[in-house]
Structure 1
């Protein structure tokens, strides 16, 4: 049964948040739990990052760091940049986005369509001064009336999820939430939701789901920041404890391969009508692992980060899948 939203938003900014949740039938049936995905692709910028973008920009305004006619600068794998450009457009600011040049063409095209100035740089290690984060910081420092969003260490990011995402999950399930899991990029989502849910119920289990190549799985499992393997997932995976991850209440940790995640998103598309990105697949596999850890009868929530339509040239392209050594579903075979 479809729900009807009865009120009109005062502006596009009021469309951010209050996303709906959907029960994922396949994962729920396999585990004997209720597994829900929070539909963050419903945000006007198309991803969970709209929440952080709004809180970061409004925090800069409150602090007097951003004045009328100003510019917001950020280094991002794409979705945060799209969220910032969406918020900045609604508020009358310019946007400069520094992004690794190996991200999806759809993200680049979206940023250009939003009017953002796009600076592409080669992907490199965080220690390199030409890393997209450091390059964006220098650009912000060199301009008048410009603010560096600093999504990785700016805790306005996680506060967005403390105040909105966690509260929405709790309200949607009437407090019947036993576990939450997602991957970490900046760490804002998992830390903020974790803090917000544990303020309401101390024994709710918060689990990190890491892609291969990221270092946080080993950190929370063994106390050492150490990555193993690699992943093609965009926007997630972290090699350090960011400002947003400091003090994050992580109770458990899982690691998920690209192949597992790809199979999960293909199933969600064909069996449940949800076309999603690879990070959502990693999150859903993690939600199943958490559900199995908790046992039948529990409720687990994860984040459906963005739409698969943002990855038509990559994850939803049979030729790209073959090049990356990932499975190609039978129904996609022969299309590329």
Structure 2
């Protein structure tokens, strides 16, 4: 008999099931999980006892379930932290018992099926974290085990299938069809779809992954031919079959052609990615493999070719580009010169020696200077020698006036501040601005961002007041840049540093922080009302760790004062006291508050423009924040609350900017101006070109560029990422 009782959890209720199977008794005591309550279950199965122990530590929940199964002990620990739940299910099945526990958590379903086959044990743990779903399904097929784990994280879907075939384990997503296995995993990550198809043909396994990235579809099919495995994108080539698949990726086309010639296989893959062309030709001739990769970029020019293993006298396929064959022949002639050309007296060798080349380098090559090749090892013709008078020096000097005194710095911290101010001429002209558009490049600070200034100010002020000393622990909740600044300072001064950062922030920031020796704690959210947000987690850590301090950039007056005393003064000096408009994004609010107050004092006519991403609620009037609080991607600016240090009274006008406009402007700054700025810099510049339309000739607009592209290499700088997000 199997009795199942459904679980309903509402927002915080979990009711559990009691099962009675065969002669053994399984008693389950319902668990109710409020915001911090867990009531434990004790199960007795057969003659063995199952004991569950529950521990509650601090405000977070630590639940330990210790199971004793027959003579072996299985201890599973399930932790609940904040509002997220981690449930662990451990099953022991004697002679083929299947116990299924179905939990409903919140509005989602958590299904865990654990199968035991023969004498081996299979334990499946299904975890649900925060508002995400984790679906675990384990299937038993024949004597092999097929385990499917489908994870839903956040608003995206991730389905994973694990297959066990024979003694080996195959993890895919999947279904069993007839005697062969067809496993399909559909993963949806963010707004994109990822479909995986794995085929099993004969005794071998062929797994193909078909991915859909962004709004486009990419399907990949791999086929097994003979006893060897042939993986081709979207083709099966039997004894002479030709399949052509045309894939559309974004707005571009991906065409793949696979050809079978006799017993050898000729596979040609031509990919068109974005607006550029990527052609890949892979040839298999006899037992040797030849891979020719020809990349075609804009202008229809071949950028790269690697084909040295092509048989020199083999007949090329009809579709092989003629320029490719010419380059192959030239390279092979270089690598395998004519026997006559190897003689020391041969004309080719004589010419080569005249240029300092060895006889082995004689011959033609794609890199030519007239009719003769000049190797990179040719002797230098420079006549410079030490001790000769400067009047005889062949060097041409181009003197440049030094902008400031160059000296040895006692510490990297002494280089914080004094960042350059650059005129943005191409963007200025492209948007038809009459005024002068200037960018303050704050990523020239040692830590790579504007946050180095408040970080140093807050640490030095705490040391001056005797609050903190080297050896103590600095804890800071941050979106990343303040954390990098503090980690850099901690490394120099000898502090332990713990940075608490939302998971949404880029991996590059995490890597930099760890490189600086900081400990990084990731939180599932940055929403202030959530007890698991980075600010609240940081406070819990401060209470638990002795001699630890939160400098608290959101409330610390040293944040805006660092800009009031340094950044604004630098701008006034660089601009000769003439600034008509100042544009900056608002994260903690320190940058716009400190600079805004100083500029209002020294340049009363200067208009202060605050920049807020769409989805944030910082801007005024409230009508600008249409739609209320929503998810946005740009990092470092925007909030669901108003930070203490933000003085919105100094802001004359607020501008809202979308993620798409932010990233496109940042990419444009990089491409057209050569300014390697970050995403929030694009937000500020996008707002500036709008607001500066009101300025006249002779007036000046200054924009703060907070950080560089270093922190976002895998994000908006990537065409694939931009296409996936729907921005390209």
Q: Secondary structure, in 3 states, of the residue corresponding to 1:135?
A: helix
Q: Report the Cα offset of residue 63 of structure 1.
A: 2.4
Unaligned runs of 5+ in 2: 1-399
1:14 maps to which residue?
414
Unaligned runs of 5+ in 1: 328-336
For residues 304-315 of structure 1, the aligned pairs below 5 Å read: 304-315=705-716
Q: Deviations over 1:123-160 (max 9, x none)?
A: 24211121101111221232222110211111210110
1:243 maps to which residue?
644
Contact 2:666 2:677 in 1 (8 A): yes
Q: Secondary structure, in 3 states, of the residue corresponding to 1:164?
A: helix
Contact 1:226 1:239 in 2 (8 A): no
Contact 2:614 2:625 in 1 (8 A): no
Q: Distance in 2 between matches of 1:52 and 1:162?
A: 10
For residues 246-325 of structure 1, the aligned pairs below 5 Å read: 246=647, 248-325=649-726
Change (3 A) 1:59 1:248: farther
Q: Distance in 2 between matches of 1:36 and 1:266?
A: 17
Q: Does 1:110 align with 2:522?
A: no
Change (3 A) 1:223 1:310: closer
Q: Distance in 2 between matches of 1:268 and 1:2?
A: 27
Q: Distance in 1 between matches of 2:413 and 2:499?
A: 20
Q: Distance in 1 between matches of 2:467 and 2:401?
A: 43
Contact 1:212 1:227 in 2 (8 A): no
Q: Distance in 2 between matches of 1:124 and 1:182?
A: 22
Q: Distance in 2 between matches of 1:274 and 1:43?
A: 15
Which is further off, 300-309 or 104-113? 300-309
Provide the TM-score with structure 2 as the length reference: 0.43
Q: Secondary structure, in 3 states, of the residue corresponding to 1:31?
A: coil
Change (3 A) 1:226 1:14: farther
Which is further off, 22-31 or 223-232? 223-232
For residues 2-81 of structure 1, the aligned pairs below 5 Å read: 3-8=402-407, 9-29=409-429, 30-81=432-483
Change (3 A) 1:274 1:3: farther
For residues 168-247 of structure 1, the aligned pairs below 5 Å read: 168-217=570-619, 219-220=620-621, 222=623, 227=628, 229-246=630-647
Structure number having the greater helix percentage: 1
Q: Secondary structure, in 3 states, of the residue corresponding to 2:685?
A: helix
1:165 maps to which residue?
567
Structure number having the greater strand percentage: 2
Contact 2:421 2:441 in 1 (8 A): yes
Contact 1:23 1:36 in 2 (8 A): yes
Tell me: higher relative CO, structure 1 or 2? Use CA pairs within 8 A at least 6 residues apart.
1
Q: Distance in 1 between matches of 2:414 and 2:589?
A: 24
Which is further off, 114-123 or 220-229? 220-229
Contact 1:206 1:251 in 2 (8 A): yes
Contact 1:225 1:239 in 2 (8 A): no
Greater Rg by CA: 2
Which is further off, 203-212 or 62-71? 62-71
Q: CA RMSD in A?
A: 1.9
Change (3 A) 1:14 1:86: same
Q: Report the Cα offset of residue 6 of structure 1.
A: 2.2
Q: Report the Cα offset of residue 7 of structure 1.
A: 2.8
Q: Secondary structure, in 3 states, of the residue corresponding to 2:569?
A: helix
Q: Secondary structure, in 3 states, of the residue corresponding to 2:650?
A: coil
Which is further off, 6-15 or 18-27? 6-15
2:528 maps to which residue?
126
Q: Secondary structure, in 3 states, of the residue corresponding to 1:120?
A: strand
Q: Distance in 2 between matches of 1:86 and 1:243?
A: 25
1:146 maps to which residue?
548
Q: Secondary structure, in 3 states, of the residue corresponding to 1:303?
A: strand
Q: Secondary structure, in 3 states, of the residue corresponding to 1:245?
A: coil
Change (3 A) 1:65 1:223: farther
2:307 maps to which residue?
none
Contact 2:634 2:662 in 1 (8 A): no
Q: Deviations over 1:245-278 (max 9, x none)?
A: 1364011111111222222112211111112111
Q: Distance in 2 between matches of 1:313 and 1:208?
A: 28
Q: Secondary structure, in 3 states, of the residue corresponding to 1:216?
A: coil
